[in-house]
Amino acid sequence: MERILEVKDLHVSFHTYAGEVQAVRGVNFHVNKGEAVAIVGESGCGKSVTSQTIMKLIPMPPGEIKKGQILFQGDDLVKKSNKEMESIRGKDIGMIFQDPMTSLNPTMTIGNQIMEGLIKHQNMSKAAAKTRAVELLEIVGIPQPDRRVNQYPHEFSGGMRQRAMIAISLACSPKLLIADEPTTALDVTIQAQILDLMKDLQKKMGTSIILITHDLGVVAEMCDRVVVMYAGKVIEEGTVDEIFYNPQHPYTKGLLRSVPRLDLDRDEPLTPIFGTPPDLLRPPVGCGFTARCENAMRVCQEIDPELNDVNGPSHRAACWLQHPLAQGRS
Amino acid sequence: MAKKPIDQNDNLLEIRDLKKYFQIGENTLKAVDGVSFTIKRGETLGIVGESGCGKSTAGRTILKLYDPTEGQIIFEGKDLSKLSNSEMKPLRREMQMIFQDPYASLNPRMTVGDIIGEALDIHGLASGAKRKERIQELLSLVSLNPEHMNRFPHEFSGGQRQRIGIARALAVEPKFIVCDEPISALDVSVQAQVVNLLEQLQEKMGLTYMFIAHDLSMVKYISDRVGVMYLGKMVELAESDKLYSKPLHPYTQALLSAIPIPDPEIERNRERIVLEGDVPSPMNPPSGCNFRTRCPKAMPECAAAAPQWKEVEPNHFVACHLYN
């Protein structure tokens, strides 16, 4: 399968008064053409920093890409200048942000915000861009698009703003769409509409999607593969079925056990994960999950485990319990 | 969790046709527009609905943080809606609140000890060494280190702050607590910690909760009964398991079907009811049934008159013309 994106050994730090926060500490994953990959994890695990680094949207300084490669269609984005990135952002890679209220420009009409990319990247005339903007609003299901195109974000409801944002990000038919918590700020009935829309567009346009979320239900509904992050690292990855039905890392197992399910009886007690994630100003030497892990061993404190294949090449976990030697394999 | 059986006839609170309107310029915003329900002693009543449905306003009006426009709030036989602020003060000991945002609801300039102690001071419950002892007891009750009473809120994580908010509510030994989205600002793994704590405290102290949230899976988990609100009105109220296994109101059905379940196999085979459009403005709600503009089952009579709030099965209330 063709890989559209490959992130290799990515390290991102932020220099603060308190010291260097190692937000992303050696992340590896890839996205195949046409698939939807979820990145899940708690706040501060580095999932948003990873996605913003792909777009080169982190402010530098204080941010710094310390190491690693981001290969997009074979090209290393880390080496690209800001100018070169401008012709990739919005054209080849689109992004949907969490909060549609703050990520749209309140002083520009929705139409102008969609047209911006079309005029810049596709050399469209103003008139042609406007016609396309109306079409796009119609595709994302906004009623009366020819009237709505001239309105400002404050005249749109939350769900409609998110639709408008999707229209902007899809304007130039990007090959990769990064959606950072696209439905977190929305109500569930509106979330269902937006997820339906994204699935539909993915099918029609063959776009690859990176979906960043903490909602495991959304992952089960939308994605083909899952990357689980913890304390700035990938600790497990696999297909949705592998992750949901056969999780290997104690953190992934804990995450799945700590959410109540609508379809199950309420008599089963919830099992929380005790404690809090480590401080990335002073990241732990060994496995970042040691302090919260019920299966922690001495080796976990001292040496950080690598991602190892478990049950086949698509499923990998970074845990000493899954190490080939611990499994009696060699 | 083994909970004491709830006496279905022992109403701690009875809400009768409660209304809360806000005047905005010349317009009236009907945030809560005539809701009636009871809360039994020792139970957890979940209230769910989307943003703007009036669930938080209902919770705050019941505690008289807002003055009700109309209706009665009967707490242990006494109607709170008519009481003045000074008459309310002794009753505030009985009813407390836990807020959504653990960052905004704790005064950043006060130590944790003073945040919890303030409640003790106001109601004259303890002073001097007794006060300190009580604060430390409360901190251990919510599984925080009692030695941390001199620290400030910023030194705690979100989940720990929510525990401080819970300790503050418990300081005055209330009977009833309104929990307004107490876990929605927390990470998934921490949410379960706080929910388990709330359940343990309920068992230990016989507390009654009104649990307001938009996360229906969590509400199902914690509540004995659940009420669903839409645009200022309650549309359905039933026992938790019943509401989820046999929802009657088309809105409840759509709401439940919209929630993604963390199981890929189920998700692949699920038919979803996707509602069209957005919630109408509460300044200018539709005539008749509020929900008719988005309802897949709307009929002509839905526009003509608002449906009655009816007990269609024992303990299962619904307001919908389909069941008249």
Interface test with A, best of B43, B55, B155, B188 (most A CBs within 10 A): B188
Residue B270: per-residue pLDDT = 84
When pLDDT is cut at 50, 70 and 90, the band that residue A267 belongs to is: low
Neighbours of B110 (CB within 10 A): 14
Using the Cβ of B67 and the Cβ atoms of chain A, whether some distance falls under 8 Å is answered with: no
Q: Could you tell me if B103 lies within 8 Å of chain A, comparing CB atoms?
A: no
CA B39, chain centre distance (Å): 11
Q: How far apart are CA B275 and CA B296, in angstroms?
A: 8
CATH number (domain holding residue A225)? 3.40.50.300
- Residue B101 belongs to a domain: no
pLDDT at B4: 66
Based on the fold, state whether residues B157 and B302 are members of the same structural domain. Answer: no
Pairwise CB contact (< 8 Å): A187 & B274? no
Q: Given CB atoms, is B19 within the 8 Å cutoff of chain A?
A: no
**Residue A266 pLDDT greater than 70, yes or no:** no
Using the beta-carbon criterion (under 8 Å), do A261 and B263 form an inter-chain contact? yes
Residue B128 lies in a domain: yes
Within 149-178 of A, beta carbons closer than 8 Å to B belong to 157-160
The answer to whether position B116 is within a domain reads yes
Q: What's the confidence (pLDDT) of residue A181? A: 86
CATH of the domain at B308: 3.40.50.300
Mutation target for B interface from A35, A99, A187, A199: give the one with most B CBs within 10 A. Answer: A187
Q: Which domain holds residue A199?
A: 3-92+174-322
The CA distance from A165 to A100, in Å, is 7
**B301 and B263 inside one domain:** yes
CB contact, 8 Å: B216 with chain A?
yes
CB atoms within 10 A of CB B111: 17
Domain that holds residue B231: 11-94+174-323
Does residue B287 belong to the interface with chain A, where contact is any CB pair within 8 Å?
no
Average pLDDT for A57-66 = 89
Question: Contact at 8 Å (CB) between B17 and B72?
Answer: yes
Give Cα separations from B95 to A92, B3, B54, B70 (angstroms). 56, 21, 20, 20
Q: Are A285 and A22 in contact (CB under 8 A)?
A: no
pLDDT above 70: percentage of residues in chain A: 98
Q: Is B8 left (phi over 0), alpha (psi -120 to 50) or beta?
A: alpha
Residue B6 placed within a domain: no
Q: Is residue A261 included in any domain, yes or no?
A: yes
The domain tally of chain A equals 1
Does residue A291 sit at the B interface (CB-CB below 8 Å)? no
Contact A260/B259, CB-based, under 8 Å?
no
Chain segment A217-248, per-residue pLDDT in tens: 899 989 999 999 999 999 999 999 999 999 99
Which comes out higher in pLDDT, residue B278 or A273? A273
Q: Write out pLDDT tens, residues A181-215.
A: 888 777 788 788 888 888 888 888 889 999 998 88
Tell me what pLDDT residue B218 has: 87
| Structural domains in chain B (count) | 2
Mark yes or no for CB contact B220/A258 under 8 Å. Answer: no
In a domain, A100, yes or no: no
Owner of token pair 């195949």: A32
**Average pLDDT for A269-281:** 82
Structure tokens at A141: 């299901």
Position A104 in a domain: no
Size of interface A-B (CB pairs under 8 A): 122
Chain A: residue nearest B277 by CA? Answer: A190
Domain contains B5: no
Does a structural domain hold residue A184?
Answer: yes
Given A259, A261, A274, which is nearest B188 (Cβ)?
A259
- Per-residue pLDDT at B1: 45
* Chain A contact probe: residue of B189, B217, B256, B274 with most A CBs at under 10 A: B189
Same domain, B113 and B56: no
**How high does pLDDT run on average in chain A?**
88
**Residues B162, B76 share a domain:** no
Where does B171-298 have alpha helices with state H? 188-205, 216-222, 240-245, 250-258, 264-268
Answer yes or no: is A84 within a domain.
Answer: yes
Helix (H) or strand (E) holding A227: strand A225-230
Whether residue B272 is found in the same domain as residue B143: no
pTM, two decimal places: 0.83
**First CA to last CA across chain A, in angstroms?**
28
Cβ <8 Å between A219 and B262: yes
pLDDT digits (tens, 9 = 90+) for A126-165: 999 999 999 888 888 888 888 899 999 988 877 788 888 8
pLDDT at A330 exceeding the cut of 50 = no
Q: What is the mean pLDDT of residues A33-37?
A: 92
pLDDT for the residue B231: 92
pLDDT at A309: 87
B202 & B244 share domain: yes
What digits encode the pLDDT tens for the residues B298-313?
Answer: 999 999 999 999 999 9
A interface test, pick of B162, B187, B279 with most A CB neighbours within 10 Å: B187
Residue B166 lies in a domain: yes
Report pLDDT for A71.
94
A260 vs B: CB within 8 A: yes
| HEC per residue, B133-175 | HHHHHHHHHCCCCHHHHHCCHHHCCHHHHHHHHHHHHHCCCCC
B213 and B312 assigned to the same domain: yes
Kindly tell me if the per-residue pLDDT of A294 is higher than 60. Answer: yes
pLDDT in tens, B14-57: 999 999 999 988 889 999 999 999 999 999 999 998 888 899 99
B186 and B296 housed in the same domain: yes
Q: Is residue A18, in this structure, part of any structural domain at all?
A: yes
A100 CB-near residues (< 8 Å, 6+ apart): A153, A158, A161, A162, A164, A165, A185
Mark which of B146, B170, B194 sits at the end of a domain.
B170
A172-231 residues touching B, CB cutoff 8 A? 187-193, 195-196, 214-221
Tokens of B307: 């449906």
Q: Cα separation of A172 and A247, whole Å?
A: 38
Residue after which a domain boundary falls, among B170, B205, B221: B170
Q: Which residues of chain B make contact with A241, given a CB cutoff of 8 A? A: 264-265
In sequence order, which residues have a C-beta less than 8 Å from that of residue A103 and are 6 or more positions away? A97, A165
Mean pLDDT of A112-126: 91
Using a CB-CB cut-off of 8 Å, the residues of chain A touching B258 are 188-189, 191-192
Look at chain B and count its residues. 324
Q: Name the stretches of chain B with pLDDT < 50.
A: 1-2
The pair of structure tokens assigned to B67 is 């003055």
DSSP B274: P
The rounded radius of gyration (Å) of the Cα atoms in chain A is 21
**Which residues lie below 8 Å from residue B296, measured CB to CB, with a gap of 6+?**
B250, B254, B273, B275
- Quick one: B230 and B318 in the same domain? yes
Of B216, B254, B264, the CB nearest to A220: B264
Same domain, B247 and B280: yes
Are B259 and B317 part of one and the same domain? Answer: yes
Is the confidence metric ipTM above 0.90 for this complex?
Answer: no
Give chain A positions within 8 Å (CB) of B190.
Answer: 272, 276
| pLDDT over 50 (residue A92) | yes
pLDDT value, residue B3: 60
From B221, B254, B267, residue closest to A266, measured CB to CB: B221
Residue B100 has what pLDDT? 84
Q: How far apart are CA A181 and CA A177, in angstroms?
A: 12
